C-alpha cells in the first residue's frame, strides 16, 4: 500500500547513482522527485545544485554507493552540505547500498577503518539520519552517532521464493560463510526450511576457498537456496555452487541483496546449469545486459518508501529492520 508525504514539507532528491530507484521511491510516497543539477567544471571540480527550496523542510537525498563509488560519495557529501546550507530542517541520507560497510575493521597494518571514516564524513556534511539496507557487517550500524535505520529486503525475497514448492522437504538455505549465518537463519525461518552455513576462507578479493564441511550438511537435499548480502566478482558464489554440486545438490537458487556482478560474474554464474535462478534487488542499478533470463530483480522502492513514511509519521519501523520479523 502506497502512502503520501506532504509535498509542501518534504523534498526528495536523487544523486546520479540510481535515479530510477529514487523515482520509484518518490512515486510510492506520491511526491515529486525534485531536480538536481550535477556537472563538472573544466578543471574536473564537481558542481551540485538542489533544484527546489528546502528551507525548513524534511529533505531526503537518495544515493547508492555503486560504481564509480568515490564520485557518487563526494556528490552525496555536496548534496547534504547544500541542504544544510539552505536551512533544511532534517536531512535524511537514503543509501540503499553502503559499499564501504565491507571496510569495518583493521585487519592489516596501517589501513583505515573506512566505514567509520565515511560515517563521520556523512555526518560532517550535514546528515541528520541515515537509512540503508543489509550492511555487510552489522557493527557498522554503530559507527553512526546519528539515528541509523538498517533495513532488509528479506520480506520481498521470501515472498518471491514462496512460488517454489517446498513441501517435499528437499530444500535447504545455505549461507556462504558464518558471517551471513544469522541472515540465512532468519530467511529459512520465514520459509520453514532448514539452514546450514559453509566455512569460507578468503584468499584475495577475487578468490575464496570453501571447506568440505558443507558436504555433510547438505547431504540428501536436492535443492539449495544460497543467501548472501552481496555478489561482486561472484567468486564466493561460484566456489560454493561447485562445492554443492559435488555434494549431490541438483538445483541452486542464488539470492543476494546487492547485485554488483562486476566483470564477467553474471555470465560465469549463469553458465552453471544447476543454478536455476539468480535473485537480487535494485539497491544498485542492474543494466539490461546483465538481466539475463535466469535473473530476477526485485525492487526495494516500497521498502524504503514504507520506512520513510513510517519515520515521517512517527511510527515504528522496527519490523523493517535487518533483525525484524514482521511488517510495519
Residue 307 pLDDT more than 90?
A: yes
How far is the C-alpha of 313 from the C-alpha of 295, rounded, in Å?
36
H/E stretch holding 202 = strand 200-202
Residue 276: φ, ψ to 5°: -90, -30
Q: Do 253 and 276 meet the contact criterion of CB atoms below 8 Å apart?
A: yes
Chain segment 148-201, per-residue pLDDT in tens: 999 999 999 999 999 999 989 999 999 998 888 899 999 999 999 999 988 776
Q: Do 244 and 198 meet the contact criterion of CB atoms below 8 Å apart?
A: no
Chain segment 251-262, per-residue pLDDT in tens: 999 999 999 999
Instruction: Indicate the length of the chain as a whole number.
Output: 328
67: left (phi over 0), alpha (psi -120 to 50) or beta: beta
- Please tell me the predicted confidence (pLDDT) of residue 43: 97
Show the domains of the chain with their CATH numbers: 10-153+301-320 (3.40.50.2020), 154-298 (3.40.50.2020)
pTM value surpassing 0.95? no
Cell digits of residue 178: 558464518
Q: How confident is the model at residue 203 (pLDDT cuts 50, 70, 90)?
A: low
The catalytic residue positions are 200
H/E stretch holding 307 = helix 301-312
Chain segment 235-247, per-residue pLDDT in tens: 889 989 999 999 9
Residue 142: φ, ψ to 5°: -75, -5
The contacts of residue 138 (CB under 8 Å, 6+ apart) are: 150, 322
How far is the C-alpha of 110 from the C-alpha of 97, rounded, in Å?
26
Residue 178 CB burial class (10 angstroms; 0-12, 13-18, ≥19): exposed
How far is the C-alpha of 29 from the C-alpha of 5, rounded, in Å?
6
Residue 132: φ, ψ to 5°: -145, -175
More confident position, 52 or 215: 52
Residue 328 pLDDT more than 70?
A: no
> Could you give the percent of the chain with pLDDT greater than 90?
81
Average pLDDT, integer, range 87-108: 95
How far is the C-alpha of 271 from the C-alpha of 294, rounded, in Å?
10
Q: Closest Cα partner for 283 from 136, 78, 132?
A: 132
- Please tell me the predicted confidence (pLDDT) of residue 326: 40
- Please tell me the predicted confidence (pLDDT) of residue 205: 66
Cα dihedral 311, 138, 320, 283 sign: positive
Residues forming a β-bridge with 227: 255
Helix (H/G/I), strand (E/B), else coil: 156? helix
- Please tell me the predicted confidence (pLDDT) of residue 199: 78
CA angle 112, 113, 117 (to 5 degrees): 95
Amino acid at each position: 500500500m502506497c502512502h503520501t508525504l506532504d509535498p509542501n514539507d518534504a523534498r526528495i532528491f536523487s544523486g546520479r547513482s540510481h535515479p530510477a530507484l529514487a523515482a520509484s521511491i518518490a512515486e510510492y510516497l506520491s511526491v515529486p522527485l525534485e531536480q538536481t543539477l550535477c556537472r563538472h567544471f573544466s578543471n574536473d571540480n564537481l558542481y551540485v545544485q538542489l533544484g527546489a527550496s528546502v528551507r525548513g523542510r524534511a529533505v531526503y537525498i537518495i544515493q547508492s554507493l555503486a560504481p564509480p563509488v568515490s564520485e557518487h560519495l563526494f556528490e552525496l557529501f555536496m548534496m547534504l552540505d547544500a541542504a544544510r546550507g539552505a536551512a533544511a530542517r532534517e536531512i535524511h541520507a537514503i543509501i540503499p547500498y553502503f559499499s564501504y560497510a565491507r571496510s569495518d575493521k583493521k585487519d592489516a597494518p596501517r589501513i583505515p577503518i573506512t566505514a567509520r571514516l565515511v560515517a563521520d564524513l556523512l555526518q560532517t556534511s550535514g546528515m541528520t539520519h541515515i537509512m540503508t539496507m543489509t550492511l555487510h557487517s552489522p557493527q557498522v550500524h554503530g559507527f553512526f552517532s546519528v539515528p541509523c535505520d538498517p533495513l532488509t529486503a528479506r520480506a520481498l525475497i521470501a515472498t518471491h521464493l514462496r512460488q517454489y514448492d517446498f513441501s517435499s522437504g528437499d530444500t535447504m538455505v545455505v549461507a556462504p560463510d558464518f558471517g551471513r549465518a544469522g541472515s540465512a537463519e532468519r530467511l529459512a525461518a520465514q520459509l520453514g526450511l532448514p539452514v546450514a552455513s559453509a566455512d569460507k576462507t578468503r584468499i584475495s578479493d577475487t578468490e575464496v576457498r570453501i571447506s568440505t564441511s558443507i558436504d555433510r550438511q547438505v547431504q540428501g537435499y536436492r535443492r539449495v537456496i544460497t543467501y548472501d548480502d552481496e555478489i561482486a566478482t561472484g567468486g564466493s558464489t561460484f566456489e560454493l555452487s561447485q562445492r554443492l554440486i559435488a555434494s549431490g545438490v541438483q538445483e541452486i537458487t542464488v539470492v543476494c541483496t546487492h547485485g554488483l556482478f562486476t566483470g564477467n560474474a553474471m555470465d560465469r554464474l549463469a553458465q552453471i546449469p544447476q543454478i536455476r535462478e539468480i535473485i537480487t534487488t535494485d539497491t544498485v542499478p542492474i543494466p539490461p545486459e546483465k538481466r539475463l533470463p535466469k535473473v530476477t530483480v526485485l525492487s526495494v522502492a516500497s521498502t524504503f518508501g514504507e520506512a520513510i513514511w513510517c519515520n515521517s509519521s512517527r511510527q515504528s519501523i522496527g519490523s523493517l529492520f535487518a533483525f525484524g520479523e514482521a511488517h510495519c
